[in-house]
Structure 1
Amino acid sequence: MEEKFGKLLQKLEREEIGIVDKLSHIIAFIRPSDPKEIGPTLEAMDRIVIFFQKKDPIAAEISDAINQLLIDSKVSTNITTMGILSRNGFRHEISERFYNKFLPTPPKKGDFGYIFATLFNKKNDHIWVNAIEDEAWIAFFASILSSETYREETKDHLFSELLYAAEILSIWIASEEFNDNFIRLDKTLLNRDSAFIALQRDINDFVHNVQEEHIDLAAIELDLRHIYVLMEQCNEQVALLKKKSINRGISVNLTYELERLGQMIQRLEEILKLIKTFDTPESYLVLMKLFKASVKKNATKNSLYEIFQQSIRVVAKSVTNNTSEHGEHYITENLQQYVKMLFSASGAGAIIAVMALIKITILQAGFSEGVETIWSSLN
């Protein structure tokens, strides 16, 4: 381990290497040869934590650079889109992934997704990353982000990114009010402000108050409670749309859009929880959940098989909803309903048996082929 760590230090001391490459070397140092064996990784992570805690000049310089990298990164983009179905549908998603397999999109400055792709560039990285306890990751990140120079600026930037992500998601959710499929199911969306629009207005006011007036979050607990009520109403609206779709026509596209809307509302709930508990042990656990999900998503970002599985899940939900529409009369809750269903099914069986007997009689009657066809068709 010491020899391996010594080689890592030699790489980190090279000034011509950028901070992303230095981070890549650190991740490579803790990456296990077998993703299912995390013992060596935990030992390597402890070694990194000790290195940064000693306040070595090299460690301080790297920590400053990592904080600057985060400050220049657009974390909100990754938070708002990671793990949420594409707005453009499966067809566009498949073509985009196929294209990126051969001609990847050039990285943009501040693209947090590109940083993730560079650091966790192995397909099985998500296995060992998710196998490590959250507490170990929290200690690891706390050590490499322990810059005394940029610590507060980094916190302010991350908090602003969370506020921005919440505002963007609320706008996307509000825009779903004009979705043609949703309007077909519930025309009252055109006649009044839905919970989606009300949520966007409250989120906008909330973000404005926090950013411009620097209000302490503890002082606006009432505003957060009201937002949570509106989010519950949004969930109820989604449930109502799903219920109405059973009677007014379900489709794969509609199921896809309802699934995506539900995912956006859930993500907004997670972001608001991060805002409410910012810089507390509770928020760190939520961040680790998002971090692990991001690593897993990064491993399958260009996977056609993953998008195929995703489409299968949506189709399965659509089929399930459609079946519930046409097959609910076969579901019973008590003995009386069961007996009624039994007699109903038995009656249909008797009719089919009589029709089969008539058809057999027609075939045995010796009619010409034309007459036999007519009588069989009429039967």
Structure 2
Amino acid sequence: MPALHPLLEAVAAAPDSSDPALLVELVAALRPVQANDHEDARNRLCLLIDVLRSRPHLALALRAYLASVLAARNHSFFFAESGILGNTGFFSELRHRIANRILPPALDARFLSDLFDELFVREDDARWLAAVPDALWQELLAALGMDQGPLDAGQLQLRHEIGEALRVLACRLAALGLEPEMVRYYPALAQYESPFLAQQREIELLILPAAPGAVAPDQAHAAVLLAQCREALQRIRKLSHEGGAAVKLSWHLMRAQQIIERMDVLLDLLLPEAGAARLPAASRFFCNLVAAESRRGSVRELIRDVTDLLSLQVTEHASRTGEHYVTRNRGEFFAMFRAAAGAGVIVAGMALCKNFIATLHLPPAWEALGFSLNYGLGFVLVHLLGFTIATKQPAMTAAALAATIGQQGSGAVAEMGETIIQVCRSQFIAIAGNVLLAFISSLLVAWLWLFGFGHSPLPVEKAQHVLHDLHPWLSMALPHAAIAGVCLFLTGLISGYYDNKAIYNRVPDRLRRVRWLRHLLGAARQERLAVYVEHNLGALAGNLFFGFMLGCMGTLGFMLGLPLDIRHVTFGAANLAYGLAALDFQLPWHDALILALGVGLIGLTNLAVSFALAMKVALKSRRLRFHQGGALLGYLLRQLVRRPRDFVWPPRS
């Protein structure tokens, strides 16, 4: 750091200057070359401390210079806004951040936030600052003489700015407590004394200057009221799990939580103890401000923070649906097979219709619409009849497994292992029911078609093309199966979203108020319709969207010139049967085995991709990290050796 001495001498030449240029150079001199080099950061700060100790006039000049720079700027709004969501709403804030990324805002010398923008220009500055121990910060303050005697004018101004920031935050928190979205879930906020309003009055008393001889208000009371506000937010969040949630409510909940956390920090900084007692909180607060300013324009951070809570509501509904896809006894196991078998029969018909639509050689848009309606209406029919498509289950069971981890913690390895074993055999029997019945039904349809019309339902050329698309390494079968897995994952999110939407917008209650529907169906049928929509709107919407995603994928690839398409295991089994029948089973046995292997690999890819994506989102939405993957894998391997049958067949009890 050869420029440190001349830099401090330049500061000493003009200690009353409010120009931050020298401070920018000082921070640049203290910044390590690599943000991860924490030792370098500590060494640079130690060198500064040694210089200030050896030359007291430089320390006095630097202290005066810092006071001049800080006194020229407003602090309160920076303390009240940095790292806290704004009151403009999610989409307005998103547009604002995108615009600032394209054209950065101009700097304003009146505000402390713009000074931070000048000083900490790298996004990783917060990392090396946070690595500096509290003892070293204490030594720096001592070297500057800030721990001696009564508070000087600059420190008194800082306390005043913290009090003003508390006033601003208290008013904003009180306004949030009166938002209709919050009162809707917690009517007690409007019926009784609201802690959101009470804390605002208490903060006002706390920061007002006390009259001579008067007893200063107790800060503990303000902390209690903030704790009550936090409990109200937790209750609203819990109720929103059952009543649905929207982006606006998620925004309000997260903003209120951030405000309370910031007020807790500022109250700690206002405690009347010595400066040394407040130093750890002050250093953490400083590093958090630097980190928040580095992320202030991040679009990714905004989307992640706001959607985490909303995705929790979506995956919460998906997890409840996923519980129905886990079989725990033999009765449920065979019921799952019957449901999957029924879906396999319907898929055989859907595969025949899809191949028939393809032979019409319609224009691309109309062909995509035909494929989409065939898939979508077929999947809706499967659901209406109470059947199940096996590949839809991973997106649901992953959410259910993540919910189990959240309830039991990462230490309940045995219970989670048993849940995974149940999921495995449930998935196995569902796949078996889909694939076997789709294959058998397609062979039966092909035989009946041949008996009735004298020819196979598929021309030989089309059959050869269909069979080639199932080859695991001579075609794009596996990449296309992965695309289908992504579509299956999105289906789970869509289902959870519409389940959440139905409850949040109270669609069943609104259906009960439709008069013409009551006259058309009668009161009893209208009630049954409302109850059915409440429990099945998400599944119907998910099936319809899934069908349109599958139907449009090939056309989208054609329009973009990309090799986009889908391969689904159940349709693959049906197409294998139709193709073999069209070729009159004149196919070498080893080729038939390779195609059967291709169908199996397609199914494995479908399941793996959809489950992995759904599990990642479900864990992320609950902010969970599972650290015992090795222990869980070891438990599953031991159970696979001891009782391998349990992975595909339920025990007697």
Output the TM-score relative to the length of structure 2: 0.48
Amino acid at match of 2:198: A
Counterpart for residue 262 of structure 1: 257
Moved more, 30-39 or 99-108: 99-108
CA distance in 1, matches of 2:150, 2:271: 23
CA distance in 1, matches of 2:332, 2:294: 53
| 1:1-379 pair list within 5 angstroms | 1=1, 3-9=2-8, 11-12=10-11, 15=14, 18-54=18-54, 56-101=56-101, 103-144=103-144, 146=146, 151-208=151-208, 211-213=209-211, 220=216, 223-276=218-271, 278-303=273-298, 307-325=299-317, 327-328=319-320, 343-344=331-332, 346-347=334-335, 349-354=337-342, 356=344, 360=441
Is the 1:38–1:128 Cα contact (8 Å) retained in structure 2?
yes
CA distance in 2, matches of 1:316, 1:327: 16
Change (3 A) 1:94 1:252: closer
CA distance in 1, matches of 2:155, 2:134: 20
Residues 10-32 of structure 1: CA distance to partner in whole angstroms, max 9, x if unpaired?
A: 54355497541221222222222
CA distance in 1, matches of 2:37, 2:250: 40
Is the 1:73–1:109 Cα contact (8 Å) retained in structure 2?
yes
Amino acid at match of 1:265: I
Higher RCO (CA 8 Å, separation ≥ 6 residues):
1
Amino acid at match of 1:350: R
How far has the Cα of 1:264 moved from its partner? 1.0
Residues 226-245 of structure 1: CA distance to partner in whole angstroms, max 9, x if unpaired?
A: 22222221111111111111
CA distance in 1, matches of 2:225, 2:331: 48
Is the 2:94–2:302 Cα contact (8 Å) retained in structure 1?
no
Amino acid at match of 2:160: S
CA distance in 1, matches of 2:319, 2:40: 55
Amino acid at match of 1:316: D
Is the 2:251–2:306 Cα contact (8 Å) retained in structure 1?
yes
CA distance in 2, matches of 1:98, 1:125: 22
Is the 1:35–1:124 Cα contact (8 Å) retained in structure 2?
yes
CA distance in 1, matches of 2:270, 2:39: 34
Gaps of 5+ in 1: 333-337, 370-379
How far has the Cα of 1:182 moved from its partner? 1.4
Change (3 A) 1:195 1:302: same
Is the 2:174–2:200 Cα contact (8 Å) retained in structure 1?
yes
Change (3 A) 1:51 1:357: closer
Amino acid at match of 1:212: A
SS of 1:276's partner is: coil
How far has the Cα of 1:172 moved from its partner? 0.8
Task: Give the total of aligned pairs.
Answer: 355
Amino acid at match of 2:311: V
Q: Pairwise CA RMSD of aligned residues? A: 3.5
Change (3 A) 1:46 1:96: same
What is the identity percentage for the equivalent residue pairs of Structure 1 and Structure 2? 19
Residues 226-268 of structure 1: CA distance to partner in whole angstroms, max 9, x if unpaired?
A: 2222222111111111111122221233222211111111111
How far has the Cα of 1:197 moved from its partner? 0.9
CA distance in 2, matches of 1:309, 1:121: 18
Query: Which of these two proteins has the greater Rg computed from alpha carbons?
Result: 2
Change (3 A) 1:11 1:153: closer
SS of 1:353's partner is: helix
Is the 1:78–1:113 Cα contact (8 Å) retained in structure 2?
yes
Output the TM-score relative to the length of structure 1: 0.79
Amino acid at match of 2:230: N
How far has the Cα of 1:88 moved from its partner? 1.5
Counterpart for residue 374 of structure 1: none
Change (3 A) 1:278 1:110: farther
CA distance in 1, matches of 2:42, 2:186: 53
